[in-house]
Amino acid sequence: MTAPSPATTAATTAATTVARPLPAPGHMGVDYEERVDFDRLRRHRLARAKEALAASGCGAFLLFDFYNIRYTTQTWIGGALGDKMTRYALLTREAADPWLWDFGSAVRHHQLYSNWLPDGNCRPGMLGMRGAVAPSAGLMVSAVREIKGLLTDAGLAGEPVGVDIVEPAFLFELQRQGLTVVDCQQDMLDARQIKSADEIALLTQAAAMVDGVYQDIVERLKPGVRENQIVALANQRLYEMGSDQVEAVNAISGERCNPHPHNFTDRLIRPGDQAFFDIIHSFNGYRTCYYRTFAVGSATASQRDAYTKAREWMDAGIRMVRPGAGTDEIAAVWPRATDFGFADELAAFGLQFGHGLGLGLHERPIISRLNSMTEPIELREGMVFALETYCPASDGFSAARIEEEVVVTADGPRILTLFPAQDLMVANPY
């Protein structure tokens, strides 16, 4: 047997080399590998937020969006308190650290364990829990007076205050006490769109957890199982693996696949169903949005054709991903709404779709024919987003849905979502 020449060996190696996967680092720090550096992560996020503030023309940002609060203060309360508009943070141009107003005993907890924040910057706050306590009780008046006092002490009371989201009554009170309010959500979303190496590692770990859940789903996906049982399985496994929030699990099967309802029911899965799932959870705050489609027991030609088209659209979109490209270039390779049965792009929004991922589920960039063709965003290294495609089947009720999470790197796209999706997978074939 003749040995291959060095040139042949080099060419073969170059042709078969696969990029090293982005690391899914595990759930804890260790002494023998460099993993997520949380101190570095905190410094990165606060620095990005302060850079956005400095460029905004505002004296301060007053933040109610709980992803922005986490990004700047590195604190978190989820569940029932996460959306009650009672947590807020103040980031000023002059001070090194933000102020945080939080719910009851959480303040004391932050003082004990969130030692990157000065104790005096962690304060109890209560504004009414989305109107449950009426503004007439005076809580908002006192809160605005306290905020204005901090701004006055810093010499910033006459400068605009950027607010991301706000209850109308609180906005009116800010204005009544003489503060000029402008929008800073755009600034914060811009700050959050470029991910650090630590953020990408956390996003990778979150995706790796869903990789494992899909293996469990494939093994469980048989006739007689209900959609909500798959949802329960996904929740259990994710929390067992260390998820800090399972935001949603969509489970859609059979005749429910077309049109896409974006939810789950107690429907019994039947032989020959096409079924797709979306798993949305977070690990240390960093989210997934991760669809996969399967056939149950067997697949029809119509189902396979729909899957093939959805995969082709996905691969076409991924090929467009590179620094300097525009989001319009991705949207342009996807079908128009009228090509797959919808009257216009608004009616089909979210089916051929991309969205940034990070602490929030829908960050920048948002990629769609609805908005990207007229206002494209330039892709930059460090962006992370999910691309989603959907193709209805010719049988009139089946459909394929695929989603891949993509990191923009100098060398092109890197995929975080590794559960096999090139071809329609048949679960538990007959």
Q: Tell me if 303 sits within 8 A of 393, measured CB to CB.
A: yes
Residue-wise pLDDT for 227-273, tens only, equals 999 999 999 999 999 999 999 999 999 999 999 999 999 999 999 99
Delimit the CATH 3.40.350.10 region(s) of the chain. Answer: 38-192
Q: Would you identify the CATH topology of the domain 38-192?
A: Creatine Amidinohydrolase; Chain A, domain 1 (3.40.350)
Sorting pLDDT into bands at 50, 70 and 90, what band is 14?
A: very low
What is the CATH architecture assignment of 197-427? Alpha-Beta Complex (3.90)
What is the DSSP annotation of 109-151?
Answer: HHHHH-TTS-GGGEEE--S-TTTTS-GGGSHHHHHHHHHHHHH
Sorting pLDDT into bands at 50, 70 and 90, what band is 167?
A: very high
**What number of helices (H) and strands (E) belong to the chain?**
11, 16
At residue 217, φ and ψ (nearest 5 deg) are: -65, -45
Q: Which of 128-132, 174-178, 233-237 comes out lowest in average pLDDT?
A: 128-132
Sorting pLDDT into bands at 50, 70 and 90, what band is 18?
A: low
Between CA 239 and CA 140 the distance in angstroms is 37
Q: Tell me if 262 sits within 8 A of 241, measured CB to CB.
A: no
> Hey, what are 314's tokens?
């996905």
Q: Which of helix, strand or coil describes residue 368?
A: coil
Enclosing H/E stretch for 316: helix 301-319
Of the candidates 398, 402, 308, 307, the residue with the CA atom closest to the CA atom of residue 352:
402
Between CA 151 and CA 156 the distance in angstroms is 5
Lateral strand order in the sheet of 181-183:
122-124, 99-102, 88-92, 60-63, 161-163, 181-183
Residue-wise pLDDT for 361-400, tens only, equals 999 999 999 999 999 999 999 999 999 999 999 999 999 9
**Predicted pLDDT at 27:** 83
> Hey, what are 267's tokens?
């429907």
Mean pLDDT of the chain, nearest integer: 94
Between CA 179 and CA 107 the distance in angstroms is 26
Average pLDDT in the 351-360 region?
Answer: 98
Rounded to 10 degrees, what is the CA torsion of 330, 200, 212, 349? -30
Between CA 155 and CA 398 the distance in angstroms is 62
pTM over 0.75: yes
**Predicted pLDDT at 15:** 41
**Predicted pLDDT at 8:** 41
Q: Please give the angle made by the CA atoms of 393, 399 and 403, to the nearest 5 degrees.
A: 130
Sorting pLDDT into bands at 50, 70 and 90, what band is 118?
A: very high
Residue-wise pLDDT for 287-333, tens only, equals 999 999 999 999 999 999 999 999 999 999 999 999 999 999 999 99
Q: What is the 8-class DSSP label of residue 136?
A: G
Residue-wise pLDDT for 2-11, tens only, equals 444 444 444 4
Judged against a pLDDT cut of 80, whether residue 346 lies above it is answered with: yes
Residue-wise pLDDT for 79-108, tens only, equals 778 778 999 999 999 899 999 999 999 999
Q: Tell me if 60 sits within 8 A of 91, measured CB to CB.
A: yes
One-letter amino acid identity for 421?
Answer: A
Judged against a pLDDT cut of 50, whether residue 16 lies above it is answered with: no
**Predicted pLDDT at 294:** 98
Between CA 309 and CA 357 the distance in angstroms is 25
User: What is the distance between the terminal CA atoms of the chain, rounded to a whole angstrom?
Assistant: 44
pLDDT more than 70, % of the chain: 96
Sorting pLDDT into bands at 50, 70 and 90, what band is 61?
A: very high
